[in-house]
Amino acid sequence: MGKYEEDITIFTEEPEKELWRRLLQYSYKANIKRYYEENHINYLYAATDENGCLDTLSNSIAGALLQANEYYKASRSVSLQVEPLLLYYGTSNLLYALYVLTTGRLPNIDNHGMRIKVRDHQGYIADTGIIFNNPQNGGVHIFAKCLGIQMDLCKLKNWTLSEFFDSIAEIKDDFEQCYQGRKSKVIQLYEVNTPDGSIEKIYIDDNIHELINQIEGFSKAYLKKPQKIDMHKEHPYYVLHHKMNGDDIHQISYSGQPYLQVAHSVNSQLVTVPKELNMYISLFVLGNICRYHPYIWNPFVTQDSTGEKLLIEKVLYYSRRILPNIVLSRIIKKQVYFVSDKYTPENRIHLVGEHEVKELINQEVQKQIRNSITESIMYERKYK
């Protein structure tokens, strides 16, 4: 998910239902008009329909959100035979509504902006090729720009679904277990509280140095040389040291664990595809295979022996939960978290560093000296 200046935590015992309740608030004309006004969106003149009419825009937003909700609800009650297709259509509607709501105009979309290429005798569904086209009016390109993603997807030539799966943090372990020899583009961070404050560490494996060199913005966020810790009976790891006023480049997975996303190298340039686009493109590929290539999809669903089916089911689960959450956060410009833990008093206890301990001791010593002087003066005055 993107980073915002403010987070909102919402208590609910039904996260998905509460998430959609909040999204569907924007299916009402009054709320849409209020949103335009509060965000200073000149909807009357920016709309591309003939009359620049609020009714046209609000009907487009409401219709897209209500259809998205129907697709998402239906996806929970069907089998894997059609689930990816429903989620792709639902997400396309969500992104369409986001575009109209945040820009005040209708998008000019001709097609998906991408197509798949099924390879002969491919071993996995993840080996399916993806070709991007129509950058001006293709849906994926328009939605990407709406999400603030300016990259030229057409430069991603010869990519397969695997290149999008490998950057989804929530399936990191499943990806590496299922596709032997392929490495995830996700480096998990482990935050540890120490007496000197919080630190971040990453465990060391064979290609960790290569991966670190492919993280965009790493040199602006951390000191160049991580500190290696190699203790007996413990997996060796690096401690990452933040630069003073360095950029914050880590991301947060659905489980709450921070991670660093490794970029792909495209024509000697680093390219990092954001999570929401990885998931959306993955849904397109899976939806197209099950819709137009049932001779591949049906045997996979009914007879898979590789374990890839479990990975894809997890991709669909997280897409259904994460993508609407991202859209809601984009709409209100705040990161929204849904939690089931009830309110508890804020914990003010924190670990202090050595310099803080010395300062506290010094303050206490000075206090005791002042008290001693005051007591001596009072004693002298009383018995002089």
pLDDT tens-place values along the chain, 384 residues long? 446 778 888 998 899 999 999 999 999 999 999 999 999 998 865 555 555 688 999 999 999 999 999 999 999 999 999 999 999 999 999 999 999 999 999 999 999 999 999 987 889 999 999 999 999 999 999 999 999 888 899 999 999 999 999 999 999 999 999 999 899 999 999 887 777 667 788 887 767 777 888 999 888 888 777 777 776 556 778 888 888 788 888 899 988 889 999 999 888 889 999 999 999 999 999 999 999 999 999 999 999 999 999 999 999 999 999 999 999 999 999 999 888 766 555 544 444 455 555 565 666 666 666 666 666 655 555 555
Q: Where are the alpha helices (DSSP H) in 11-104?
A: 15-23, 29-38, 43-46, 54-75, 83-103
pTM of the model: 0.84
CA torsion angle 29 37 325 78 (round to 10): 20
* Distance linking the first and last C-alpha atoms of the chain: 73
DSSP-based three-state secondary structure for 354: helix
> In the block, which residue shows the tokens 């206490």?
364
Read off the amino acid at residue 245: N
- The length of the chain, given as a count of residues: 384
Please work out, in degrees rounded to the nearest 5, the angle formed at the alpha carbon of residue 365 by the alpha carbons of 383 and 197. 160
What does the block give as tokens for 281? 């493109």
Question: Cα(205)–Cα(201) distance, rounded to whole angstroms?
Answer: 13
Question: Cα(202)–Cα(268) distance, rounded to whole angstroms?
Answer: 26
Task: List residues bridging with 254 in a β-sheet.
Answer: none
> In the block, which residue shows the tokens 């208590």?
11
pLDDT at 350: 47
Output the CA torsion sign for 22, 14, 77, 320.
positive
- For 157: left if phi > 0, alpha if psi spans -120 to 50, otherwise beta; the answer is beta
Identify the H or E element spanning 182: none
pLDDT at 344: 53
pLDDT at 348: 47
Taking alpha carbons only, the member of 164, 142, 136 closest to residue 281 is 164
pLDDT at 379: 52
